[in-house]
Amino acid sequence: MTGIVTGPRSNRKAKGAGGERRAEILAVAERIFLSGGYEGATIRKIADEVGVSPTALYMHFPDKHAMLMAIGEEALDAVLAESQAIAAGPGDPADRVRAVLHAHMNFALKNKTAYQVVFCEGARAIAKNQSRTRELCERYYRVVADLVAELGKAGRLKQGSSHGVAQTLWTGCHGLVTYLITNPNFGYVEVDELKALMVDGLASGLID
């Protein structure tokens, strides 16, 4: 037996291929983490939504934290690679900082659910444990931090420390996309204008 319930539990689904089932579990977990919060999610609730028994779900993931890590890794792998490519490219480091910040916001708005799960709902759980997902988050931040440090060494920071500037740029852009995602009916001006104002306003005030 695979652990999938049959008989009276007619809502249970037939077992699919391992990769397909794993992807289905992650999609359901992502939705539940977002709608009800990571802390309130349970293995049973995720299993019920997928249509398998908790025992069958444990064959793919030992706990909900492992699901969160898998969601985080998939999302971060893509945006980290893009940001590293931008940072390693030619041109003024200040322009590359701006490009990385725009890439971050574009990623967030194209992957709203994953972004909320990783950077909002699950952020505390990720920070508590050593994992590849936490490592990816730290590497992702260092893309901006290293570029800002390069500007700092060249005497191009108008105020603050390198990490202070990097974190201000990072959290400012994070705050904007979080509001756009979680409160979409506010009546914002065009999103492209908001993104440009956020990046250019912060960067112009902090970088020479």
Instruction: List, for residues 161-189, the tens digit of each pLDDT value.
Output: 999 999 999 999 999 999 999 999 999 99
Q: Match 């890439």 to its residue by tokens.
A: 103
Q: What is the pLDDT of residues 54-98, one digit of tens each?
A: 999 999 999 888 888 788 788 788 889 999 999 999 999 999 999
Q: How confident is the model at residue 8 (pLDDT cuts 50, 70, 90)?
A: very low
SS3 at position 119: helix
Whether 13 is in a domain gets the answer no
What's the domain count of the chain? Answer: 2
Domain boundary pick from 30, 45, 62:
62
Compute the residue count for the chain.
Answer: 208
- Statement to judge: residues 75 and 55 lie in one domain: no
User: Is the domain of 45 the same as that of 106?
Assistant: no
The CA-based angle 108-150-172, given to 5 degrees, is: 30
Q: What is the pLDDT of residues 47-56, one digit of tens each?
A: 999 999 999 9
Q: Tell me if 48 is assigned to some domain.
A: yes
Q: Please check whether residues 136 and 57 belong to one and the same domain.
A: no
- Are 72 and 133 within 8 A, CB to CB? yes
Stronger pLDDT, 5 or 70, i.e. the higher one: 70
pLDDT at residue 15 greater than cutoff 70: no
102, 200: one domain: yes
CATH of the domain at 28: 1.10.10.60
- Domain of 34 in residue numbering reads as 18-62
DSSP assignments along 45-69, one per residue: HHHHHHTS-HHHHHTT-SSHHHHHH
Domain contains 153: yes
pLDDT of residue 3: 39
If you search the block for the tokens 């974190």, which residue do you land on?
167
Helix or strand or coil: residue 157?
strand
Query: Which residue type, as a one-letter code, is found at position 3?
Result: G
Same domain, 102 and 53: no
Has this prediction a pTM greater than 0.75? yes
Of the residues 7, 27, 62, the one at which a domain ends? 62
In degrees and rounded to multiples of 5, residue 157 shows phi and psi of: -95, 125
pLDDT score of 9 more than 90:
no
- Measured CA to CA, the distance from residue 102 to residue 184 in angstroms comes to 19
In a domain, 9, yes or no: no
8 A C-beta contact, residue 158 and residue 207 = yes
What average pLDDT is seen over the chain?
87
Q: What is the CATH number of the domain that holds 178?
A: 1.10.357.10
In a domain, 10, yes or no: no
In this predicted structure, the answer to whether residue 141 has a pLDDT above a threshold of 70 is: yes
User: What are the tens digits of pLDDT across the range 194-207?
Assistant: 999 999 999 999 99
Whether 77 maps to a domain, the answer reads yes
Burial class (CB in 10 A: 0-12, 13-18, 19+), 159: exposed
Percent of the chain with pLDDT over 90: 58
Contact 83, 104 (CB under 8 A): yes
The predicted pLDDT at position 148 comes to: 97
Kindly state the DSSP code that residue 189 receives in the 8-state scheme.
S
